[in-house]
Chains A and B, each alone.
Chain A
Amino acid sequence: MLTILFDGIAYGMILFVLAVGLSVTLGLMNVVNLAHGAFAMAGGYVGVVLVNRLGVPYLAALPLAAVAAALIGVVLERTLYVHVYGKSHLDQVLFTIGLVFMASSAVSWALGSQQVFIELPGFLRQRFEVFGVSMGAYRLLVIGVCGALAVGLQVLLSRTRFGSRLRAAVDDPVVARGLGIEVGRIFLLTFALGSGLAGLGGALGAEILGLDPNFPLKFMVYFLIVVTVGGASSIFGPFLAALLLGVADVAGKYYLPAAGAFVIYSVMLVVLILRPQGLFAPRSGR
């Protein structure tokens, strides 16, 4: 029981790190980015290549995966995404689905279409017994890293100059530009940060989520659930939504295997109908 809760929390934490970038691009910048999972996949595969093929230590590979995904994010943002910021949602959907198709095919061409895992070092395979709950060191690491990231992001967004500039740029780009805030640059940095976090989540979570070329489509729904259920007004909303989703999914698979993902999709539908702004958004909305 508690072990399921623990696994669910670890799973939810990973989902949060994966999806938090999307909650900014989709929730705040209003760009329908269905290709967000492709950045996570990129990070995951960078991790696979570094650890399994080149023998880089696991803990060193994680930040490298994040940096690689962030760089890919920067390049794509500058070359492609800037052109679709102002376009219709239909265009954004088409564009990002196209990107997903390309990313999936490219990965299966380069690295094969089978599911891969990152080899964990020995010290992460240990298990502890705490108050009768069996905990894997790997999942503890996941929870620790993701929890720290959540706190860091909250501080970054609410306490720093960058955070207030970002909120200003999102609320009213025209006025923000008039005040001397370089909106394009802020968006670029945000996009890079979101992609980097997704890449980190992809590498860190490869053990839990599994990694294959269909990753972006398979988890797209989960990311969208986190963003829509959590709302985009704070870091806290998506965080709680991701935890709920993680625990519900793990528990559902354990206790109600027959229901499958049915419960989760139905819950999302209900939330969407009753609270289109998200569960934790203030009722008035923006």
Chain B
Amino acid sequence: MRAAAQAALADLGRWRWPEVAFWVAAWGSWLLLPEQHLLLNEVAILGLFALSLDLVLGFAGIISLGHAAFFGCGAYVAGILARLGWGDPVLGLLAAGLVAMGLGFVTSFLVLRGSDLTRLMVTLSVSLVLFEVANRMAWLTGGADGLQGMVVGPVLGWFAFDIFGSVAYAYSLVVLFGLFLVARRVMHSPFGLSVRAVKGNALRTAAIGIPVNGRLVAIYTMAAGYAGVAGGLLAQTTQFVSLDVIAFHRSADVMLTLVLGGVGYLYGGLIGALVFKWAQSWLSDLTPEYWQFWIGLVFVALVVIGRERVFGWPAAVLRRIAR
């Protein structure tokens, strides 16, 4: 019985060739598309952020409209550290992740109770409160002018950031890959399966002896850390932090990103980030002011036609090939 369960888990966690191909392509893009490194760096960061939301939304089923709170928290921690003279990127990133995790742990207790709507409102108001805090504490965060004067040292004391974004993209990609591996391992563990069970039916999950609240707190905290690291990456690679990192539209964008790629199979955020950033740069070239209109249209159409029908395909293809 136990051996069978372990075998099933191991089978679930086995690497399949589409996944390998995905990461080979990701690493290959660093070699083959040197002039796209700045954009790809943004893709990697958005991908990590969307992966973080996927842990909360896709696996635990918590709808969050304020995920930018953790992203912004991480960005400000990394930014402020760099401005105060602790410019080592790796340590700064670690600090960003840990502080965001702390924030996630504290606020996770607020989303334990209540319906979708209450959670939506609670996450939204947490991010709004933090936005106001960042806005008002201008002596620390620069307020509406943004945080200026960041000095970010070379990665590992060796690779200095260049203007073409080559080091930045490599750095973000390494971080993304590392954290992805962790998330993949966690989600294919018994713990990950129990989190999915909570999403399926919290009451029954509790009835078979899984501590529902503990699971939610843990996954929310972990996701907050991921978002914090993503924010830290953005701060370090652009050497600038503005209120924009914590604004509502960032929470909305990341949700759209995740949904574009598909919810609940880890790659959704990454594929969505690629599609979203590509569509954004293509549309804003086409109509610089009104690209939001077309993004909006895509989402209205997506929901009316049915998300599963339109964008279930990457997951479905992946499953079909992998079997």
Contacts and interface: CB of A to CB of B under 8 A. Distances in A.
Interface residues of B, number: 44
B129 A102 contact: no
Contacts of B122: 269, 272-273
B57 A272 contact: no
Given A265-B125, A265-B132, A105 B304 contact: no
Nearest to B57: A90
Contacts of A95: 299-300, 303-304
A133 interface: no
Interface stretch (B111-119, B167-175, B229-237): B111-119
B125 to A, nearest CB: 5
By CB atoms of chain A within 10 A, which of B110, B128, B129, B299 has the most?
Answer: B299
A176 B73 CA distance: 48
A9 interface: no
Nearest to A99: B300
Main secondary structure of the interface of B (DSSP, over half): helix
A255 interface: no
Contact of A105 (B249, B293, B299): B293
Nearest to B110: A273
B126 A91 contact: no
A32 B117 contact: yes
Given A87-B303, A261-B128, A272 B118 contact: yes
Contact of B293 (A106, A224, A228, A269): A106
Main secondary structure of the interface of A (DSSP, over half): helix
B133 interface: yes
Chain A: interface residue count, which band? 35 or more
Interface stretch (B87-95, B148-156, B187-195, B251-259): B251-259
A80 interface: yes
Given A93-B63, A102-B297, A262 B133 contact: yes
A275 to B, nearest CB: 10
Contact of B116 (A83, A89, A105, A109): A89
A259 interface: yes
B297 A108 contact: no
25 contacts: A32-B117, A90-B57, A92-B303, A93-B63, A93-B120, A94-B303, A94-B307, A95-B303, A97-B255, A98-B303, A102-B296, A105-B292, A105-B296, A109-B293, A217-B248, A221-B128, A224-B124, A228-B117, A262-B132, A262-B136, A265-B125, A269-B125, A272-B114, A272-B125, A276-B114
